[in-house]
A and B are shown apart, each in its own frame.
Chain A
Protein backbone atom coordinates (compact mmCIF):
# COMPACT_ATOMS: atom_id res chain seq x y z
CA UNK A 1 0.00 0.00 0.00
CA UNK A 2 1.60 3.23 -1.21
CA UNK A 3 -0.53 5.49 0.97
CA UNK A 4 -2.20 7.11 -2.04
CA UNK A 5 -5.79 5.90 -2.32
CA UNK A 6 -7.74 5.99 -5.54
CA UNK A 7 -11.39 5.11 -5.92
CA UNK A 8 -13.02 3.44 -7.65
CA UNK A 9 -10.54 0.85 -8.97
CA UNK A 10 -12.66 0.09 -12.00
CA UNK A 11 -15.34 2.08 -13.77
CA UNK A 12 -17.39 1.16 -16.80
CA UNK A 13 -19.60 3.80 -18.33
CA UNK A 14 -21.24 4.75 -21.59
CA UNK A 15 -20.20 7.37 -24.09
CA UNK A 16 -21.50 10.82 -23.30
CA UNK A 17 -21.57 10.22 -19.58
CA UNK A 18 -19.71 11.98 -16.78
CA UNK A 19 -17.61 10.33 -14.07
CA UNK A 20 -15.64 11.45 -11.05
CA UNK A 21 -12.41 9.83 -9.95
CA UNK A 22 -11.22 10.37 -6.43
CA UNK A 23 -7.74 10.50 -4.93
CA UNK A 24 -6.61 10.77 -1.33
CA UNK A 25 -2.94 11.70 -1.12
CA UNK A 26 -0.44 10.20 1.25
CA UNK A 27 -0.67 11.67 4.73
CA UNK A 28 1.20 14.97 4.87
CA UNK A 29 1.50 15.40 1.11
CA UNK A 30 0.16 18.70 -0.21
CA UNK A 31 0.60 18.18 -3.92
CA UNK A 32 -1.53 15.95 -6.11
CA UNK A 33 -0.85 15.04 -9.74
CA UNK A 34 -3.12 13.31 -12.23
CA UNK A 35 -1.81 11.17 -15.07
CA UNK A 36 -3.52 9.27 -17.85
CA UNK A 37 -2.05 6.01 -19.13
CA UNK A 38 -3.35 4.73 -22.44
CA UNK A 39 -1.98 2.29 -24.98
CA UNK A 40 -1.50 4.87 -27.70
CA UNK A 41 -0.39 7.89 -25.64
CA UNK A 42 1.52 6.24 -22.81
CA UNK A 43 1.72 8.09 -19.51
CA UNK A 44 0.61 11.69 -19.89
CA UNK A 45 0.58 14.38 -17.23
CA UNK A 46 -2.83 15.97 -16.90
CA UNK A 47 -2.84 18.43 -14.03
CA UNK A 48 -1.27 19.28 -10.68
CA UNK A 49 -2.74 20.82 -7.55
CA UNK A 50 -0.85 22.10 -4.57
CA UNK A 51 -2.66 22.84 -1.33
CA UNK A 52 -5.91 23.52 -3.13
CA UNK A 53 -4.57 25.57 -5.99
CA UNK A 54 -3.97 24.54 -9.56
CA UNK A 55 -0.23 24.56 -10.16
CA UNK A 56 0.29 23.17 -13.62
CA UNK A 57 -1.65 21.86 -16.57
CA UNK A 58 -0.52 19.30 -19.06
CA UNK A 59 -2.38 17.52 -21.82
CA UNK A 60 -5.76 17.81 -20.19
CA UNK A 61 -8.83 18.05 -22.39
CA UNK A 62 -11.38 20.82 -21.85
CA UNK A 63 -13.94 18.10 -21.06
CA UNK A 64 -11.84 17.17 -18.05
CA UNK A 65 -11.49 19.18 -14.87
CA UNK A 66 -10.09 18.65 -11.42
CA UNK A 67 -10.04 20.19 -8.01
CA UNK A 68 -8.37 19.72 -4.67
CA UNK A 69 -10.43 20.15 -1.53
CA UNK A 70 -9.45 21.61 1.86
CA UNK A 71 -8.83 18.11 3.22
CA UNK A 72 -6.39 17.72 0.29
CA UNK A 73 -8.21 14.96 -1.50
CA UNK A 74 -8.64 15.55 -5.19
CA UNK A 75 -11.24 14.70 -7.78
CA UNK A 76 -10.85 14.38 -11.52
CA UNK A 77 -14.07 14.97 -13.43
CA UNK A 78 -14.38 13.56 -16.92
CA UNK A 79 -17.42 14.56 -18.95
CA UNK A 80 -18.91 13.87 -22.40
CA UNK A 81 -16.92 10.68 -22.36
CA UNK A 82 -15.65 9.20 -25.60
CA UNK A 83 -14.33 5.72 -26.35
CA UNK A 84 -10.83 7.18 -26.54
CA UNK A 85 -11.01 8.27 -22.92
CA UNK A 86 -10.72 4.64 -21.85
CA UNK A 87 -7.48 4.49 -19.90
CA UNK A 88 -5.87 4.00 -16.56
CA UNK A 89 -5.92 7.21 -14.53
CA UNK A 90 -3.27 7.59 -11.89
CA UNK A 91 -3.01 9.98 -9.03
CA UNK A 92 0.32 10.71 -7.39
CA UNK A 93 1.22 12.84 -4.41
CA UNK A 94 4.29 14.53 -3.04
CA UNK A 95 5.11 16.56 0.04
CA UNK A 96 5.39 19.83 -1.86
CA UNK A 97 6.47 21.04 -5.27
CA UNK A 98 9.80 22.55 -4.35
CA UNK A 99 11.32 19.68 -2.43
CA UNK A 100 14.79 18.94 -3.76
CA UNK A 101 14.39 15.36 -2.64
CA UNK A 102 11.86 15.04 -5.35
CA UNK A 103 9.72 12.03 -5.77
CA UNK A 104 6.14 11.05 -6.09
CA UNK A 105 4.10 8.26 -4.66
CA UNK A 106 1.59 6.81 -7.08
CA UNK A 107 -1.77 5.29 -6.35
CA UNK A 108 -2.82 2.02 -7.98
CA UNK A 109 -5.04 3.80 -10.48
CA UNK A 110 -8.62 3.81 -11.70
CA UNK A 111 -9.28 1.84 -14.85
CA UNK A 112 -11.95 3.62 -16.88
CA UNK A 113 -13.69 1.77 -19.68
CA UNK A 114 -16.04 3.73 -21.91
CA UNK A 115 -18.42 1.58 -23.94
Chain B
Protein backbone atom coordinates (compact mmCIF):
# COMPACT_ATOMS: atom_id res chain seq x y z
CA UNK B 1 0.00 0.00 0.00
CA UNK B 2 1.13 3.52 -0.70
CA UNK B 3 2.19 5.90 2.05
CA UNK B 4 3.34 9.48 2.35
CA UNK B 5 5.65 11.01 4.92
CA UNK B 6 5.94 14.70 5.61
CA UNK B 7 8.77 14.88 8.13
CA UNK B 8 8.23 18.51 9.16
CA UNK B 9 5.15 19.10 11.27
CA UNK B 10 5.70 22.84 11.50
CA UNK B 11 7.93 25.23 9.56
CA UNK B 12 8.43 28.94 10.21
CA UNK B 13 9.91 31.25 7.59
CA UNK B 14 10.18 34.99 7.20
CA UNK B 15 8.25 36.74 4.49
CA UNK B 16 10.37 36.93 1.35
CA UNK B 17 12.47 33.92 2.29
CA UNK B 18 12.57 30.75 0.24
CA UNK B 19 10.59 27.69 1.24
CA UNK B 20 10.98 23.96 0.81
CA UNK B 21 8.49 21.47 2.23
CA UNK B 22 9.55 17.85 2.20
CA UNK B 23 7.53 14.88 1.06
CA UNK B 24 8.61 11.25 0.76
CA UNK B 25 6.38 8.58 -0.65
CA UNK B 26 6.25 4.83 -0.79
CA UNK B 27 4.59 3.30 -3.82
CA UNK B 28 5.29 0.25 -5.90
CA UNK B 29 4.75 1.76 -9.32
CA UNK B 30 5.08 5.20 -10.84
CA UNK B 31 3.22 7.42 -8.43
CA UNK B 32 0.73 10.13 -9.08
CA UNK B 33 1.75 12.90 -6.69
CA UNK B 34 -0.05 15.98 -5.47
CA UNK B 35 0.37 18.96 -3.21
CA UNK B 36 -2.67 20.53 -1.60
CA UNK B 37 -2.99 23.60 0.60
CA UNK B 38 -5.56 24.08 3.34
CA UNK B 39 -6.24 27.49 4.84
CA UNK B 40 -8.04 27.66 8.19
CA UNK B 41 -11.70 26.76 7.83
CA UNK B 42 -11.28 25.96 4.16
CA UNK B 43 -11.19 22.88 2.04
CA UNK B 44 -8.11 21.61 0.26
CA UNK B 45 -6.95 23.41 -2.84
CA UNK B 46 -4.77 21.67 -5.40
CA UNK B 47 -1.41 23.41 -5.86
CA UNK B 48 0.15 21.07 -8.40
CA UNK B 49 0.33 17.47 -9.54
CA UNK B 50 2.78 15.11 -11.19
CA UNK B 51 1.89 12.20 -13.43
CA UNK B 52 4.81 11.77 -15.79
CA UNK B 53 7.21 13.69 -17.97
CA UNK B 54 9.14 16.71 -16.76
CA UNK B 55 10.09 16.08 -13.16
CA UNK B 56 9.84 19.78 -12.27
CA UNK B 57 6.22 20.83 -12.18
CA UNK B 58 4.84 24.30 -11.83
CA UNK B 59 1.73 25.04 -9.86
CA UNK B 60 -0.43 27.90 -8.80
CA UNK B 61 0.61 30.75 -6.50
CA UNK B 62 4.25 30.50 -7.60
CA UNK B 63 4.84 27.01 -6.19
CA UNK B 64 6.84 24.29 -7.87
CA UNK B 65 7.74 20.73 -6.97
CA UNK B 66 10.40 18.33 -8.13
CA UNK B 67 9.88 14.59 -8.46
CA UNK B 68 13.01 12.59 -7.63
CA UNK B 69 12.43 8.90 -8.17
CA UNK B 70 15.81 7.90 -6.72
CA UNK B 71 14.95 9.62 -3.46
CA UNK B 72 11.21 8.84 -3.50
CA UNK B 73 10.63 12.52 -2.90
CA UNK B 74 8.36 15.24 -4.18
CA UNK B 75 9.40 18.40 -2.37
CA UNK B 76 7.46 21.63 -2.69
CA UNK B 77 9.33 24.89 -3.18
CA UNK B 78 8.68 28.58 -3.46
CA UNK B 79 11.44 31.15 -4.00
CA UNK B 80 9.82 33.96 -2.00
CA UNK B 81 7.10 33.37 0.55
CA UNK B 82 4.24 35.78 1.07
CA UNK B 83 2.30 36.21 4.30
CA UNK B 84 -0.77 34.79 2.56
CA UNK B 85 1.04 31.46 2.11
CA UNK B 86 0.58 30.68 5.79
CA UNK B 87 -1.51 27.51 5.79
CA UNK B 88 -1.22 23.76 6.10
CA UNK B 89 0.26 21.85 3.21
CA UNK B 90 -0.46 18.25 2.35
CA UNK B 91 1.37 15.92 0.04
CA UNK B 92 -0.64 13.04 -1.40
CA UNK B 93 -0.12 10.00 -3.58
CA UNK B 94 -2.81 8.53 -5.77
CA UNK B 95 -3.55 5.20 -7.34
CA UNK B 96 -2.95 4.73 -11.03
CA UNK B 97 -5.80 4.93 -13.53
CA UNK B 98 -7.91 1.83 -13.74
CA UNK B 99 -8.30 1.55 -10.00
CA UNK B 100 -10.16 3.53 -7.40
CA UNK B 101 -8.78 6.99 -7.13
CA UNK B 102 -8.55 7.53 -3.45
CA UNK B 103 -5.60 9.58 -2.31
CA UNK B 104 -3.30 8.80 0.56
CA UNK B 105 -2.31 11.98 2.34
CA UNK B 106 0.66 12.84 4.48
CA UNK B 107 0.13 14.25 7.93
CA UNK B 108 0.65 17.81 6.75
CA UNK B 109 3.12 20.62 7.36
CA UNK B 110 1.91 23.77 9.05
CA UNK B 111 3.60 26.86 7.60
CA UNK B 112 3.94 30.03 9.65
CA UNK B 113 5.16 33.19 7.91
CA UNK B 114 6.82 35.89 10.01
CA UNK B 115 6.53 39.53 8.91
Contacts and interface: CB of A to CB of B under 8 A. Distances in A.
Q: Which of B90, B94, B97: most chain A Cβ within 10 A? A: B97
Contact of B107 (A33, A42, A108): A42
Contact of A48 (B36, B44, B102): B102
Chain A interface size band reads 20 to 34
Contacts of A56: 100-102
Contacts of A99: 97
Q: Which of A4, A43, A98, A108: most chain B Cβ within 10 A? A: A43
Interface residues of B, number: 24
Contacts, number: 58
Nearest to A33: B102
B97 A42 contact: no
Contacts of A102: 32, 49, 51, 94, 97, 101
Contact of A108 (B41, B49, B98): B41
B53 to A, nearest CB: 12
Interface of B: 32, 34, 36, 41-46, 49, 51, 90, 94, 97-98, 100-108
